[in-house]
A = this chain, B = another copy of it.
Amino acid sequence: MIQPIKLHVEGMTCGHCVKAVHDRVKAFDAVDEVDVHLETGEVDIEFDPEAVEIREIIAAIEDEGYKVKTF
């Protein structure tokens, strides 16, 4: 079942950063939707928690060079 989650990503400064985060998260088969908000740092994701763990998605975003908070 698809579940929404909102992450808070620190360090995005421009449209390239938005695209880097979006494309990295969207690359997961288990991710349905990704919406990245540059000004607030909020990243809204709809994913299948039975197919991917959220910590894997967080690790991918951090691998792109950003810091992720889940609260």
Residues of A within 8 A of B (CB): 13-17, 20, 65
For this chain, the copies found in one complex come to 2
Which 3 pairs across A and B sit closest by C-beta, in order of nearness?
A: A16-B16, A13-B13, A13-B14
8 residue pairs from A and B, CB less than 8 Å apart: A13-B13, A13-B14, A14-B14, A14-B16, A14-B17, A15-B65, A16-B16, A16-B20
- Which residues of B lie under 8 Å from residue A20 when comparing CB positions? 16
Which residue, of A13, A16, A17, has the highest number of chain B Cβ atoms within 10 A? Answer: A16
- Which residues of B lie under 8 Å from residue A15 when comparing CB positions? 65
Chain B min CB distance to A63 (Å): 14
| Cα–Cα, bound, A41→B14 (Å) | 15
